[in-house]
Amino acid sequence: MVCNRGGCPGVKGAAGTWHEGGITRLPLPGRISSTKEAVMGFNARSARTVIAVAALVGGLGAMTACGSKPAWKNPGDKSDTPATKEVATTVAAPANGATDVSTATEIGLANAKPGSTVTITDATGATVAGSMRADGQTWVPATQLKYATAYTVTVSGSDDSGKTTFTTMAKPGKTINVSVAMADGKTYGVAMPVVVRFGSDVSKDQRANIEKRLLVTSNPPQLGVWYWFSNNEVHYRPKDYWQSGTTLSVRLATGGLQLTGSAYGAKDVTVNATIGRKLVMETDDASHQMTVAQDGQVIRTIPVSLGKSSTPSSSGAMVVMDKNKSEVFKGDASDPYVETVYYVQRVTIGGQYIHAAPWSVGDQGKRNVSHGCTNVSQDNAIWLYNLTILGDPYTVKGTPRKLAWGDGWTDWDKPWEEYVKGSALPAPVEPAPAASSPAPSASASTN
């Protein structure tokens, strides 16, 4: 009870209690005929009751000021609870103080927040450019890091005062060259795969790590995947033909990347290219005609002669791989010949081409007499040669011979559902279509 020494006389408390002379008194249960009786005329049993109750109330009253009600707090009210401290974004990999780190390393983050940024500097203070992967958890340097160099990593928005440092590996004694079948600044057809070749076989157990470092960016974005044709060649294609006008940025970020147990990628390779108009060539053996369509419109039908019965042409989806104004063709022991052929466009590794064949003009559009190539007239060969670019698709159907998988850029001869199985990584997830929105009103801006 918090009162003056003289008590709190006459102060009425909660639930009918009275404070007199420093004692809290309560109305008695049972026979109470008047205030005087309540104060003075009660018997001993009643007195004992009052004393017990007074002791209880007095204990409660000690927690409050005289005559004031005890403060009540809602159990759900957390206004007095200290705020939970936000977990800082930190560097998860490489570990702080790590040495012998690959120059192809990436910066893994823990507790990454949207908009987190990473800064890497070397011992001279030079900053390394880079960007975050789509997962928001991994930051990729834009160039290969230097060998035997110390780096410091700082993450923005972190309240951790420490910084992560690591040192890269010394230059390895054995390296493997990596190349891509594209030239910087060139334009390619809509079926052009990104063809990556390694100077020697790479380990199968490294395929997944390698794929992660083969970076293809398309604008507009298009879903694509890698397919391993062999231990030294992997291709990338989109789900459907590239959209005309697509820009491609390809970075083979393999410099310093482990490719075998003892060999590493020699350096990074970067190529920027463009996808041109959509040109599609299709030949039907039943009609001996080739249809050439550009951007969905048939622009010419060309009579052809395909491979004769002993050397049939392959049926399947092919791609123009190479072009030359002339090449020397040679037969084998069973059919020896040497012939200079003009306006040639290669579509298989095994030696099938589209080319000018003036000697078979009388057969073109009627019968098959070639060694497996697509024969066309000189005029049509020149016209077609001047029209096509590498990466244009060429499909043949109706012949008795099936195109062998891997005999050229056969990427389009498998459906997407089968092609994705050739990757060492899980199949990519196609983004959900954007939700449709109501049509704008007549007064709304449609810019």
Query: So which residues are the catalytic ones?
Result: 355, 373
Helix ranges restricted to H, 127-213: 207-212
The dihedral sign for the CA sequence 178, 256, 212, 129: negative
**What's the start-to-end Cα distance of the chain, in Å?**
75
- Count of other CB atoms within 10 angstroms of residue 381: 23
Structure tokens at 365: 């559009």
Task: Kindly give the pairing relationship between strand 187-188 and strand 269-275.
Answer: parallel
| Share of the chain residues as helix, strand and coil, in percent rounded to the nearest 5 | 15, 35, 55
Three-state DSSP state, 115:
coil
CB-CB contact of 364 with 305 (8 Å): yes
Q: How far apart are CA 149 and CA 172, in angstroms?
A: 14
- Count of other CB atoms within 10 angstroms of residue 194: 24
Q: What one-character DSSP code corresponds to residue 431?
A: P
Structure tokens at 140: 């990729």
The dihedral sign for the CA sequence 389, 390, 391, 396: positive
> Could you please report the per-residue DSSP string of 11-29?
EE-GGG-EEETTEEE-PPS
Three-state DSSP state, 233:
strand
Q: How far apart are CA 177 and CA 198, in angstroms?
A: 6
